[in-house]
A and B are shown apart, each in its own frame.
Chain A
């Protein structure tokens, strides 16, 4: 679908909704489970992914004319790793606390299939600017779902939002929301709700 329609609006809708990387393509699930128990961590992590997806798509698109076919994937991985390391260094230098909290997950952005997916499916055959836009919107689609999950998990697991106490002291936190399995249930909910809404509107699934 996305190979055909390259208008910015269509790309936006596609990446945020009709082929949302998380709940339609079910990509990048590892990090969806691992980092979503606190909103702040999720926000930083998903901003990182969005930037990496955007810039690596752009770079892949810029280099596509020079790239020998047989080493295409290698070069894509190199580009992605480059941006991930930049993000990692930036976090260590300017947000040391969050860098500590996210631990290995920043490095693991490299293995996030969304980024490679966009590079391969879109940036390889489109111009740099629109590829950047495609990457960023994909990242935003990912961010939207993860923030939703993190919202529920932090609220019920800690009684807080972005670290601020929201629920009264007497609230008993749900231990299960803090551990990764709860992200499975919530992801199930999101996929189910998203697909049901889509089917109701008669959009192609």
Chain B
């Protein structure tokens, strides 16, 4: 059953595994609603990809599970279900399948979907936080209150970091999206993913430390009220460093460009946080990083011979052969051969 539906992708399974742990802890924090939202997102995400891939006569990639969980866990706990649904359909259909499916998408689908709903429904996504309430498993299904109040980033800008408790935040007891609050678990996942060579450590390190450095710089210069060590466990910068910037499809391949790419994501995030109207800037950071990924790769000096992912080459050639995708697909194919 599973083999008939999915193409096997071992790397993705490890990411899914670590995200599952996040999911369990998030359910502990915010209640069973977390499970309901993520089940819905998974079902719709798989269904959307299945519809497209069936037309191409292919199987659903296991990467879609990662996309669904990354997207689902990036939503606020009390987000209306219909909004969660719109976002994942957009993520898979537009950000992934319209570009030609797995391996061809320029933008990380999860973040594209997240940003799509963030811009479309700003109110619903900025005022559907919930206070972690342990033990509140069943309470979360029906009676849990929506807390419109401010996330740590907003609290810091208004009242200063004095109103926050670092360790409480570190262990996940703060307002935030479902998967982003438990910093300790994300760090543990980072170690696991790096040790198993699932995630590229350069991407994690460069994203995280560029954000930290810029936060510190702006704070010392007196331009920002965000206290660096609090800022790094607020919002989704840690979540994004570990899970989003490491997406092998949308990140560059050469080591030097990976440093640059991470630094771009980290610094755009901080600049949006500090200077723009949006409280959190990670989505913008990743999308801008994605946009420049191939360009950065192109400009960097030639690396030691490193084969490209085979997945992006084979289907492109097939489509170009049948005239299926026209010019777009042919470009991908030639790009792959260079």
Contacts and interface: CB of A to CB of B under 8 A. Distances in A.
Contacts of B120: 174-177
B124 A175 contact: no
Contact of B119 (A172, A175, A189, A192): A175
A192 B121 CA distance: 26
Nearest to B124: A172
B interface SS class:
helix
A142 B324 CA distance: 25
A188 B326 contact: no
A157 B276 CA distance: 24
A179 B124 CA distance: 18
B230 interface: no
Given A172-B121, A174-B121, A205-B326, A192 B116 contact: no
B94 A195 contact: no
A67 to B, nearest CB: 35
A24 to B, nearest CB: 11
A195 B116 CA distance: 25
Contact of A175 (B98, B122, B324): B122
A185 interface: yes
B160 interface: no
B324 A188 contact: no
Contacts of A172: 121, 124
B119, B120, B326 pick with most chain A CB within 10 angstroms: B120
Interface residues of A, number: 13
B135 interface: no
Nearest to B97: A192
A23 to B, nearest CB: 12
Interface in A151-197: 172, 174-177, 179, 185, 188-189, 192, 195
B323 interface: yes
Nearest to A175: B120
Interface string B87-120: 0000000100010000000000000000010011
A199 interface: yes
Nearest to B90: A185
Interface in A37-56: none
A195 B324 CA distance: 10
Given A176-B116, A199-B323, A199-B324, A185 B121 contact: no
A44 B43 CA distance: 43
A185 B323 contact: no
B188 to A, nearest CB: 35
Interface of B: 94, 98, 116, 119-122, 124, 323-324, 326
13 contacts: A174-B121, A175-B119, A175-B122, A176-B116, A176-B119, A176-B120, A177-B120, A185-B94, A188-B94, A188-B98, A189-B98, A199-B324, A205-B326
Given A175-B121, A192-B98, A199-B324, 16 more contacts: A172-B121, A172-B124, A174-B120, A175-B119, A175-B120, A175-B122, A176-B116, A176-B119, A179-B119, A185-B94, A188-B94, A188-B98, A189-B98, A195-B326, A199-B326, A205-B323
